[in-house]
Amino acid sequence: MNHSNIICVCGAGTMGSGIAQVCAQSGFVTILFDVNEEMIAKSKTKMQESLQALLLKEKITIAEKEEIIKRVIFTSNIKDCKADIIIEAIIEDKNAKANLFKQLAEINTPQTIFATNTSSVSIDEMAKEIDRPSQLIGMHFFNPAPVMKLVEIIKTENTNSDVVDTIFSFTRQLNKTPVLCNDSPGFIVNRIARHYYLEAMKLMELGLADIKTIDSVMEASGFKMGPFKLMDMIGMDINYSVSKIVWEALDKPERLRPSIIQQHKIAAGELGKKTGKGFYQY
């Protein structure tokens, strides 16, 4: 990939915003698309703040900050989404993602690569629903995308080998570390991490410890963030959808049953940092 290649990120939420920033910081013209104008406005502000923080830490200059922002094209018109690599980071729902890729295939060339940032939807299953399965690949970033180095790369049996090579080198150009994973429920990190969240909520439900104690104990034991703080950062709706998809894909084992606590939080609109309240108040 060279810097004349164009990247498009779909979904300007928690992940899409961060991924678009990473692409623009790495020198790529980046289209950031969302169906929701309000999310686009929020994303613009968030990106400005994030770059301002880098400026204050002297990691970028004022000129670089301005260049980075200039490289991002914010849009709510899907017709603007013409690119060499499209990374989708919309809601965690297979049909929504497949529908988006179908619409994007109509306005892009056969060479365009479709990457999905899904945490748990089977890439093989998604490939069955779209028009160009050989161009589909999983590119799973971690939150916050501008900070976290790991990207899980998931290929299907249909993914073109050139697509895999391009995505590996593109990921390195973003200054990230690509790791090839099999297409199994939750890939590697989210499969193992389910227990971190679910067991924490079980302890809370049984009244064995409160959320602050659980978070501080886990942080004191070496984890960067306690499970409740982490769920608030991820977003309750996304975290719950991932649990549900992984649980169903593995034939509903009791040990991975999604928590009723999260269902209640979602029903109350308490999605975490993005809505101002989750397990904690922001």
Ligand X SMILES: NC(=O)c1ccc[n+]([C@@H]2O[C@H](COP(=O)([O-])OP(=O)(O)OC[C@H]3O[C@@H](n4cnc5c(N)ncnc54)[C@H](O)[C@@H]3O)[C@@H](O)[C@H]2O)c1
Catalytic residues: 119, 140, 152, 190
Among residue numbers 258 through 277, which ones bind ligand X (CB under 6 A)?
A: 274
Q: Which of 89, 123, 154, 167 binds ligand X (CB under 6 A)?
A: 89
Pick between residue 73 and residue 209 the one whose CB is nearest to ligand X: 73
Cis peptide before 178 (omega within 30 of 0): no
Q: What is residue 159's three-state secondary structure? A: coil
Q: Is 130 in the site for ligand X (CB under 6 A)?
A: no
Options 90-98, 161-169, 220-228, 254-262: segment touching ligand X (CB under 6 A): 90-98
Alpha carbon of residue 221 to chain centroid: 27
Pick between residue 39 and residue 214 the one whose CB is nearest to ligand X: 39
Options 105-113, 173-181, 218-226, 233-241: segment touching ligand X (CB under 6 A): 233-241
Sheet with 136-140, strands from edge to edge, namely 72-75, 29-33, 6-10, 85-88, 113-116, 136-140, 150-154, 177-181
Q: Is 16 in the site for ligand X (CB under 6 A)?
A: yes
Q: Is 138 in the site for ligand X (CB under 6 A)?
A: no
C-alpha distances (whole Å) from 42 to each of 11, 194, 265 are 12, 29, 23
Options 87-95, 107-115, 163-171, 218-226: segment touching ligand X (CB under 6 A): 87-95
Whether 201 and 262 have beta carbons less than 8 Å apart is answered as yes
Q: Helices marked H in 108-235 — which ranges?
A: 123-129, 161-173, 189-205, 211-220, 227-234
Q: Is 234 in the site for ligand X (CB under 6 A)?
A: yes
Q: Is 119 in the site for ligand X (CB under 6 A)?
A: yes
Q: Which of 27, 29, 35, 64 binds ligand X (CB under 6 A)?
A: 35
Binding mask 94-113 for ligand X (x = CB under 6 A): --x---x-------------
Residues listed for the chain: 282
Q: Which of 21, 24, 32, 34 binds ligand X (CB under 6 A)?
A: 34
Pick between residue 13 and residue 60 the one whose CB is nearest to ligand X: 13
Q: Is 15 in the site for ligand X (CB under 6 A)?
A: yes
Pick between residue 16 and residue 133 the one whose CB is nearest to ligand X: 16
CA distance 163 to 155: 9
Pick from 229, 257, 85, 84: nearest CA to 143: 229
H/E run at residue 94: helix 94-107
Q: Is 143 in the site for ligand X (CB under 6 A)?
A: yes
Pick between residue 100 and residue 163 the one whose CB is nearest to ligand X: 100
Q: Which of 185, 235, 258, 278 binds ligand X (CB under 6 A)?
A: 235
* Cα dihedral: 129, 134, 138, 139 (round 10): -130
By DSSP bridging, strand 29-33 and strand 72-75 are parallel
Alpha carbon of residue 139 to chain centroid: 9
Pick between residue 68 and residue 139 the one whose CB is nearest to ligand X: 139
Q: Which residues bind ligand X (CB under 6 A)?
A: 10-16, 33-36, 39, 89-92, 96, 100, 117-119, 140-143, 234-235, 238, 242, 274
